[in-house]
A and B are shown apart, each in its own frame.
Chain A
Amino acid sequence: MAFLEVKNLHVEVEDKKILNGLTLSVDKGQVAAIMGPNGSGKSTLAYVLAGKDNYKVTEGDVLLDGESILDMAPDERAAKGMFLAFQYPVEVPGVATMTFLRTALNAQRKTRGQDELSTPEFMKLVRDTAGHLGISQDMLRRAVNVGFSGGEKKRNEILQMAVLQPRLAVLDETDSGLDIDALKIVADGVNRLRSPERSMVVITHYQRLLNYIVPDVVHVLAKGRVAKSGGKELALELEAKGYAQFQGEAA
């Protein structure tokens, strides 16, 4: 059953059309890879799903668990299970990572009508996950992403995902800027979160990440819509042939 349904989505950014009738569905528990050349609309799709301002939906709809989310604020979407791992995680000076995680988790739980997590439960959850991701106690005490390396920022995104336990995780070029060791740690963190209850959309330009996070399906985006879908072998085909074939025919 489809958990995420994107229906004929048209999106403009500053009067420029980026998504052009994109239709896509991701089943519950499915890991879908979205590949495509630069400018094909991959990151726009990620931001529109998360609810960023200045992305104007002119046509179409996005359903999460059967409900349209386009009128929801980003925090409401998050409480409903949406999570975006940013391509460029921002630095939040003055807000300690621990405070940030706890505020976010409790805000989501409150919106969902759940009790706040107790401090010991919360601490245990964070410590266990941080340990797997090689995130030190010192990093948890520091302000969110401030002074973190590129790899540390990406690991911090996965930590947030693990703590917030979303039902749909959208990973926007999580592999960009990572060396092979960092990539393995991040992929390992993501794989640990794979579950029949959790859908994932893995956006990437390169096939490399998909060696570590093996997708159930691969969709190729070109010119703002899905140009081709297939199994994981499609990623290998793209690696061999490049994106040129889609850039021509989608016009």
Chain B
Amino acid sequence: MNADVRAVKTPAEQALSAAFAAARNKLPGKGSVVALREDAFRRFDASGLPHRRIEEWKYTDLRALMREAKPLAEPAKTTGKVPGLSGVEAGRIAIVNGRYEPGWSDFNAHDPGMTLTELFAFAAEEASYRLGNVPGKDDTAVSLNTAFMTGGVVLRVKKGARIEKPVHIAHVFAGGAGAATYPRSVVIVEAGARLTLIESFDGPDRIDYQVNSALELVIGEGAHVDHIKVGRDGDAALRISTLGVTVDGKANYRDFAFTTGGAVVRNQTFVRFGREGTEASISGATLIKNRQHVDNTLVIEHAAGGCTSRERFRSVLDGESHGVFQGKIVVEPRAQKTDAKMASHALLLSDEAEADNKPELEIFADDVQCGHGATAGALDSGLKFYLMSRGIPEKQAEALLIQAFVGEAIEDIAYEDVREALLQASVKWLDARA
């Protein structure tokens, strides 16, 4: 087989071409949005679905994993409620079947510190913001999202505003049969502002829906942003979520991806530190079982000096599940005094589970501190014996150790209620296992 020649399109690729041809004149947005879509689709069409010989997608062969392309999801016909995070009070923005649904939302539109606009309304009014101009824009999944984007919101947090209550963008699939959604949102946190942003993905079990979401996150100078992404998709769902982040100087950015749901999930995060003095923590925890496949892929670009980044991912893999971590840290020549450390640890609970870790460092500056570490292994039998020798039964000892393993990642979340909610969610996952 030759990797460079693509003579035959897969059924999914053919279906995507047909879907775009049918939808191109009906999809929302005008002018520049239309041009963006056309250009993005051309780029997708040239490359096709990413597969295992594309290095960035080596472990998540979308051509094999995405056998068919589902039709575009229809708007929800009813009004409902979106699931929150237990014990977390938040202003909720509902994205249902890939579209912003004010009727499902519970958001204080009168907060003087923020403005919320529907994606295409924003694109029509605001020429100052160029959609899609974020790190990761050349990725094929992002091209597909841009071509088909069905809706979303633009949230702007004004300069210096401190938003106390978290804002929660809740994505829900509410259809009765498998369909595809392409939500796209933008969050701009201006200089000196503070925001805790929750993103969640929910949907029913046994329905093979597909989500290709993209979030553009723009963090201004000195801003504090905590972004927590919770993936609780149904057990037949395929979801690809791209996060493109640009970070200005002296900012504080903390990101956490928590994944328990979905059949195939890829969280891809592209971050660029553009000016000096930013501190960032990009971490996550994955708990999966059966035949779930979850891929966390990061590309962190240190384009300015004196920034600190910590990447810490932990995954608990049971059954025949497959956990993937790919982390690339790029330190550009001018990014002296960069301090970047990446660690990925996988805990394998069964002989059939598989973990792939691919850390990469590309360092072009000479005065930096960078490092990475990766481990994959079973529960430590010595630890388990120690706990059992104190009277703790085997299953409980295992649960305590797994909980501790995941807990060490979740500890990174600054917002206490969210931290508690995710600790509880991991306990629930463990209880279901026992």
Contacts and interface: CB of A to CB of B under 8 A. Distances in A.
On whether the two chains bind one another, the answer is yes
A246 to B, nearest CB: 29
A27 interface: no
B112 interface: no
Contacts of A50: 385, 389
B346 to A, nearest CB: 16
A94 B405 contact: yes
Given A94-B405, A94-B407, A104 B386 contact: no
Interface string B397-412: 1001101110110000
Given A103-B396, A103-B400, A107-B396, A75 B405 contact: no
A78 B382 contact: no
A180 interface: no
Contacts of B400: 95, 100, 103
B392 A75 contact: yes
Contacts of B390: 75, 78, 83, 100, 104, 107-108, 160, 164
A28 to B, nearest CB: 21
Contacts of A164: 390-391
Interface residues of A, number: 30
Contact of A79 (B383, B385, B391, B396): B391
B38 to A, nearest CB: 51
Contacts of B69: none
Contacts of A53: 381, 385
A78 B391 CA distance: 5
B391 A108 contact: yes
Interface stretch (A61-69, A84-92, A128-136, A190-198): A84-92
Nearest to A144: B386
Chain B contact patch, size range:
20 to 34
A179 to B, nearest CB: 25
A228 interface: no
A208 interface: no
A74 B389 CA distance: 5
Contacts, number: 77
Contacts of A77: 389
B408 A94 contact: yes
Nearest to A163: B390
A52 interface: yes
A51 B407 contact: no
Contacts of B387: 92, 100, 104
A75 B397 CA distance: 10
Given A53-B381, A90-B383, A104 B404 contact: no
A206 to B, nearest CB: 25
A73 B381 CA distance: 14
Contacts of A92: 383, 386-387, 401, 404
A103 B392 contact: yes
A164 B430 CA distance: 26
A107 B392 contact: yes
B391 A107 contact: yes
Nearest to A111: B391
A90 B404 contact: no
15 contacts: A51-B389, A53-B385, A74-B388, A74-B389, A78-B388, A92-B383, A92-B387, A94-B404, A94-B407, A95-B401, A100-B400, A103-B392, A104-B387, A104-B391, A104-B392
Interface of A: 50-53, 73-75, 77-79, 82-84, 86, 89-90, 92-95, 100, 103-105, 107-108, 111, 143, 160, 164
Q: Which 8 A-B pairs have the closest CB atoms?
A: A94-B404, A78-B391, A108-B391, A104-B390, A74-B388, A75-B388, A74-B389, A95-B404
